[in-house]
Amino acid sequence: MWESFRFAFAGLRYAWRTQRNLRIHMAITVVVMALAGWLRFDPVRWAVLILTIALVWAAELLNTALEAIVDLASPSFHPLARIAKDVSAGMVLLCAIAAVLVGLALFGPGLWALLSPWS
């Protein structure tokens, strides 16, 4: 069991070192979590936020794994390899767009109440 954890953490370290977008996701995660704390999210909002963040991170990690598999299977250019990589990147984009929409639903009312001159 401990070896499985070691392999999993090795995968996370690899992705952290090699994937700029994962580091960007981390920066956004820190800002969003701090904002959620400042707005005093209730447990349900925290749960939705954490699941949304996990979805984006998981998509990014899956994209990294799929790119590695495609590179292994097709070291030279192949149109199907390009399609696999593009679709995988599209998956991350879709999850990121969904995360922004969830963020608007979670943060919008609280930020509007704090920042609106009419409140």
Catalytic annotation present for 67: no
> Could you tell me if 116 and 84 are in contact, meaning their C-beta atoms sit under 8 angstroms apart?
no
Given 49, 52, 53, 60, the catalytic residue: 60
> Could you tell me if 99 and 53 are in contact, meaning their C-beta atoms sit under 8 angstroms apart?
yes
Q: Which residues of 89-112 are buried (b: 16+ CB within 10 A; e: fewer)?
A: beebeebbeebeebbeebbeebee
Phi, psi dihedrals of residue 78, rounded to the nearest 5°: -145, 135
- Catalytic residue set: 60
